[in-house]
Every structure is written in structure tokens, then in C-alpha cells.
Amino acid sequence: MFREVINTISPYIPGKPISEVKRELGLEKVIKLASNENPLGPSENVKKAIKESLSDLGFYPDGNCTELKLKLAKKLNVKPTQIIFGAGSDEITQFIASIFLNPGDNSIMARPSFPRYETVTKVMGGLPVEIPLKNHTHDLDEFAKHINERTKIIWICNPNNPTGTIVKKDELYSFIKSVPSEIAVVVDQAYREYIDDPEYPDATQWLYEFKNLIVLQTFSKIYGLASLRIGYAIASEEIIEKLNRVRPPFNVNHMAQVTAIAALEDTEHIQKAKELNKKSLEFFYKSFEEMNLQYIESYGNFVMVDLKKDAVEIFKKLLLKGIIVRPGDIFDMPTYIRVTTGLESDNMEFIKALKEVL
């Protein structure tokens, strides 16, 4: 009855929702530092836009996201026809797999990295080729060695989730240039807005040079709209036109569209989130150093720290104290946890709890 490949796919394991932990453990207060959301949530502008949008909820949304697309195209300096929106950038990974992969084709990705690249490849009957990270970073030399005539997509998560490491400008540029033009290169920049480092490349700048390049971005992270599900891809008009053929007609809801418009205009809120994240990372690093714990320096809003103990056990103990983090077992890093930066008080409570459970 079921396709054989379905049995090889593990369901996505999300960070535990706050409501579930409260219910299961009978806790009143729970701090979630597990899914790389912005702890400030959306801005006041966004909340106002939500209220204003309530009168339109009975209508189907604009499937083309016209107003948002025009605004975003202007901001990014690309044509509106170079953008497609998804119910999260996650949904767009499915579109990408479905327009490029025939059964037996392969796609190349790092391991550990964002797990959806593997899943969407398998769903299409494709073969995920997973290249181990080197020094917690994409090993693009190995990527290049694994390209063959069945390779259709290369996924580069920059910065990488879960390690927070980046591929720097020159290296990324040379790699993309070396990839045959009939293979799609996807650069997932979900955490791009957190980064100021001049060595970090925004791959959007290369879209005119590389017609096989697709850049993924999202409103779920710094913009604080994770629950509304909206992300986007920027690519050549040809690729976007093909992606639109497989996109469900009303995939991005109206509230997501109006809030994304409001969020785009909200530079102050973004700056605030960025500063908070920077401070939080510094606090985590300092605390980990005091505790003699090794961590991987991160360009995102999360950090992997090595507890030198079974991380699932520590995860469970932290949960009992009302703190949700991500154990590293699912990333083949069984002694690490990944912790998202939170509000100042949340970060302090996490460190206090971590000291206790260790």
C-alpha cells in the first residue's frame, strides 16, 4: 500500500512545544530554548497588522503574495519574478526537491545539517549524499568530489544548523562557480540577518552570475514570525517559474503576508533582536568557559555545547526544571546540546539549571 521509501523516512522531531511540557510535567513556567526562534517575538508593528488583518480572514489569501513580493523585491534589489514564498522556507525545500529530483537522482548535503534536505530528497525517491562536517563546517572539497551525473541539488546551510558555522565568501564563491550549471545550488540563509561579519557572504549578490543558484530565507527567525509560517526563495526567473508550478495555490496565509510586510519595515526591532542575540551568545560563551565546557562558536542565534555526558539525559533533567533545549543525538553529536539564545533572564535560568544538573 505504501511506497517503500516512506519506511526509510523518520518523522521530523521538533523542539518540544511549551504547552506540551507544561501539561506533561505540570509546570507553570517553561522556557523554550530549542527551536531558534526570536525570544522577543514579533514587533508591535506586526501585532498591529494582525489586528487590522482580522476583517479579511474569511477570504482566500493572495496566492501570489503580490504586495509583499513587490516590497521584498525592492529591498533585495531583485525582480519580483525572482521570488517565491512558502509556508516557511521548509515548504520551499519540498518544491525544490520536486522540480529537480527523479527517482535515483542524488542531492548532496552536510551532516549534521538541517534535516529537511535529507527528507525531501528521500520523498522524491532520491539519494541523500551526506558529507561529514570538517571542524564543524561544510567540507566543500568533499562535496565537489561527490558530484556525479545523477547529482541534481547541492544544499549549503549557511550558517549551518546545528553547528552555527559559516562557509566564508571566497570559498563559497569558488565552490558555486565550480559546480556544473545544470545542478541547483541551494544556499539556506535562515539566520542571515543575525550576521555582520564581512567574511559572511549573502549569496543573493551572485544570483545574476549563477542561474542555478537558489537562496532560501525566512521570517521565522529574527523577524519572530515562526508560528505564521512564511519564508521565501530568491533565484533566476526560470527556476522561480518552475517552483510556482508545484506550489499549492494558497500556501501562504493572509496573516503571514501582512505581518511579513510589517516586519520588513521594522528595522529597529531587528536591531534589538540582533543586539540581544550578541549579548546572549557572549553570556553563554563566558558561562561555558567558567564551567570548563567546550562550545562551537556560532553565527546564528543558537550554540552547540559539549557536556561530555549523554545529552539526552541532561535534556530530560533540564526539562524537569522547565527548560527545553535540543539534545545533539539527532545530529550525531550525542554529548552536545543545542541551546537557542533567549531573553536575558531565560539565559541566566538556563545556565543555573545546567550547573545544577551537571
Query: Considering only 1-9, 82-90, 138-146, 242-250, which stretch makes contact with ligand PLP by CB under 6 A?
Result: 82-90
Cβ proximity to ligand PLP: between 90 and 130 the closer is: 90
Q: Which is closer to ligand PLP, CB of 194 or CB of 210?
A: 194
CA distance 109 to 27: 39
Nearer to ligand PLP, 90 or 105 (CB): 90
Question: Residue 210 interacts with ligand PLP (CB under 6 A)?
Answer: no
The footprint of ligand PLP on residues 35-54 (CB under 6 A) is: 36
Print burial letters for 48-87: b (CB count within 10 Å at least 16), e (below 16).
ebeeebeeeeeeebeebbeebbebbbeebebebebbbbbb
340 binds ligand PLP (CB under 6 A): no
Q: In this structure, what C-alpha cell is assigned to residue 193? A: 540577518
Residue 163 engages ligand PLP in binding (rule: CB under 6 A): no
Specify the DSSP element, H or E, that contains 249. Answer: none
Residue type, 210: F
State which H helix or E strand residue 290 sits in: helix 267-290
Q: Does 220 bind ligand PLP (CB under 6 A)?
A: yes
When the beta carbons of 100 and 299 are compared against ligand PLP, the nearer one is 299
Q: Is 214 helix (H, G, I), strand (E, B) or coil?
A: strand
Q: Which of 88, 126, 328, 342 binds ligand PLP (CB under 6 A)?
A: 88
> HEC string of 106-174?
EEEEEECCCCHHHHHHHHCCCEEEEEECECCECCHHHHHHCCCCCEEEEEEECCCCCCCCCCCHHHHHH
The Cβ-side half-sphere exposure at 148, using a 13 Å CA radius, reads 8
Residue 190 touching ligand PLP (CB under 6 A)? yes
Residue nearer to ligand PLP on the CB measure, 89 or 347: 89
Please select the residue that binds ligand PLP; options are 218, 277, 287, 340, rule is CB under 6 A: 218
Among 38, 89, 301, 341, binds ligand PLP (CB under 6 A): 89
Whether 225 and 42 have beta carbons less than 8 Å apart is answered as: yes
Size of the site for ligand PLP (CB under 6 A): 13
Q: Please, which residues have CB within 8 angstroms of residue 288's CB and are 6 or more apart in sequence?
A: 294, 295, 305
Candidate list 231, 322, 327, 342; residue touching ligand PLP; CB under 6 A:
231
Bond from prior residue into 128 cis (ω within 30 degrees of 0): no
Binding mask 128-157 for ligand PLP (x = CB under 6 A): -----------------------------x
| Beta-sheet strand order (sheet of 302-306) | 294-296, 302-306, 336-340, 326-327
- Taking alpha carbons only, the member of 277, 240, 333 closest to residue 39 is 277
- CB of 160: closest distance to ligand PLP in angstroms? 7
233 binds ligand PLP (CB under 6 A): no
Q: What dihedral do alpha carbons 202, 204, 210, 212 form, nearest 10°?
A: 100
- The CB density around residue 332, as the number of other CB atoms within 10 Å, is 12
226 part of the interface to ligand PLP, by CB under 6 A? yes
* CB of residue 89 to ligand PLP, shortest distance in Å: 4
Q: Which is nearer to ligand PLP, 118 or 188 (CB)?
A: 188
Residue 88 or 322 having the CB closest to ligand PLP: 88
Binding region for ligand PLP (CB under 6 A) out of 62-70, 179-187, 218-226, 281-289? 218-226
Q: Return the residues of window 310-329 that contact ligand PLP according to CB under 6 A.
A: none
Minimum CB–partner distance for residue 318 and ligand PLP (Å): 20
Extract the C-alpha cell encoding 203: 549569496
Which residues contact ligand PLP (rule: CB under 6 A)?
36, 88-90, 114, 157, 161, 188, 190, 218, 220, 226, 231
